[in-house]
Amino acid sequence: MEKIRFIHCADLHLDSPFIGLKHLPADLFDRIQNSTFAAFEKLVKEAVQRRIDFMIISGDLFDEEDRSIRAQAKLLKQFNLLDASGIPVYVIHGNHDHLGSFRLNLDMPGNVHIFDVKTEVKELLTKSGALVKLAGFSYGTRHIRERRITDYPRHIEADYVIGLLHGSEGSIHSSHEHYAPFTIKELKEKDYHYWALGHIHQRQLLNSDPPIVYPGNIQGRHRKETGEKGCYLVELHERDAALEFIPTQDILWERVEVSLSGIERFGEMFRKIMKKAEEYEVSSDSLLQIDLKDYLDLSSEIFHAVENGDLLQALQADLLTGEYSKWIHSIKLSRGEHVQIERNDPFIGDVIHELTDMSTEAGIEALAELYEHPSLYRYIDVLKEEELKHLIEESVELILYPAKRQ
């Protein structure tokens, strides 16, 4: 049997804005705006250079609401490039770019094969003569909550069978919504050679034989999507699979922990953070989040400077030196060092207990005034458990260290 080599990527989210950034400098703003394109261009370049047999994109090429013409025009350009190199592209649409959403009537080149809303199997004969069959479906609407995995045919006759699926594995807890859920067992039962998944932005290998892979997105889009992002170059030879991760991100999101213990002056703190950030090793231009640790000993003025954004402003005003440019986008106080609540005032202890024991519903109820405000709710993301937890932590701190607030 001939070998096949292909690139598997997903969640391009072309031209979708970065979330949670504010006061961006103009040049960085432009850079960020282009980063998803840059990442995809890099990916296509790699594909052409490495002469892969074909490419798989497992959904979410765009964000439905934010799908820009620019994004589509650029995507088309890249597809044309692939077409020129004779590389077929297999695309399924995901929840963010479902087929029901607004689409341009762009003539896709012949090498682009888009899966239908109904699960279908496409055939490909590679240049080296391997017969590859690809099974998958595209989202027709935004929300697909049924278990579409059952539609995938079993035991397909071919040299290689690859499943394309945009959805979430049942066991994964993530901030991503649960769509087209499935279990690893279900996938394995299909007896495919490779499962090209999409939807989860965090890169992960669910299984190695056969490989069941979330390649993650190709460019981190907010502070939580840290680390290298990219695609997988997959080489299948019968049942053997070799996966090579190719980083594509144009801008890295990273977190830098800085301990502030023993810091007494603002300048000291500033320098320490700058130093840490400069020393932090990255593989490309980066957006940094500074996680401050051991900040409880800070004097109130300094802490205030951290809280009210003076520190961030100062940090952003100064350019970081180094091989790659880095920009500090935010400063977070790293909670987690749970102060001994017991030792405190019993009343405060009770208050904190009250807080930490707060259920999500109670929390949402407590915040309903704002979250359910008729003109606000549209712009506020639904409060998730995780976020609530974080909020509660912050509130606890507020109560425990009231001195810092004065």
Binding site for other proteins (CB under 8 A): 15-24, 29-30, 32-33, 65-71, 73, 102, 104-105, 264, 297-300, 340, 342-348, 350-352, 354-355, 358, 363, 366-367, 369-370, 373, 375-376, 378-381, 383, 391-392, 394-395, 398-399, 402-403, 405
**Which of 44, 127, 56 minimizes the C-alpha distance to 91?**
56
The residue written with tokens 């027709």 in the block is 140
CB nearer to other proteins: pick between 18 and 160? 18
* Distance from C-alpha of 92 to C-alpha of 72, rounded to nearest angstrom: 15
Q: Minimal distance in Å, beta carbon 293 to other proteins?
A: 18
**Which of 132, 183, 163, 184 minimizes the C-alpha distance to 58?**
163
What residue type is 94 in one-letter code? G
CB nearer to other proteins: pick between 242 and 370? 370
Q: Minimal distance in Å, beta carbon 357 to other proteins?
A: 9
As given in the structure block, the two tokens for residue 338 are 């749970």
Q: Minimal distance in Å, beta carbon 308 to other proteins?
A: 11
As given in the structure block, the two tokens for residue 190 are 């299909």
CB nearer to other proteins: pick between 86 and 402? 402
* Distance from C-alpha of 220 to C-alpha of 201, rounded to nearest angstrom: 8
Q: Minimal distance in Å, beta carbon 374 to other proteins?
A: 10
CB nearer to other proteins: pick between 189 and 345? 345
Q: Minimal distance in Å, beta carbon 18 to other proteins?
A: 7
CB nearer to other proteins: pick between 50 and 338? 338
CB nearer to other proteins: pick between 37 and 115? 37
Q: Minimal distance in Å, beta carbon 352 to other proteins?
A: 8
What residue type is 327 in one-letter code? W
CB nearer to other proteins: pick between 102 and 173? 102
CB nearer to other proteins: pick between 68 and 174? 68
Q: Minimal distance in Å, beta carbon 257 to other proteins?
A: 21
CB nearer to other proteins: pick between 244 and 350? 350
CB nearer to other proteins: pick between 21 and 48? 21
Q: Minimal distance in Å, beta carbon 139 to other proteins?
A: 20
SS (H, E, C) the chain: CCCEEEEEECCCCECCCCECCCCCCHHHHHHHHHHHHHHHHHHHHHHHHHCCCEEEEECCCECCCCCCHHHHHHHHHHHHHHHHCCCCEEEECCCCCCCCCCCCCCCCCCCEEECCCCCEEEEEECCCCCEEEEEECCCCCCCCCCCHHHHCCCCCCCCEEEEEEECCECCCCCCCCCCCCECHHHHHHCCCCEEEEECCCCCEEEEECCEEEECCCCCCCECCCCCCCEEEEEEEECCEEEEEEEECCCCEEEEEEEECCCCCCHHHHHHHHHHHHHHCCCCCCEEEEEEEECCCCCCHHHHHHHHCCHHHHHHHHCCCCCCCCEEEEEEEECCCCCCCCCCCCHHHHHHHHHHHCCCHHHHHHHCHHHHCCCCCHHHCCCCCHHHHHHHHHHHHHHHHCHHHHC
Q: Minimal distance in Å, beta carbon 229 to other proteins?
A: 19
Q: Minimal distance in Å, beta carbon 388 to other proteins?
A: 8
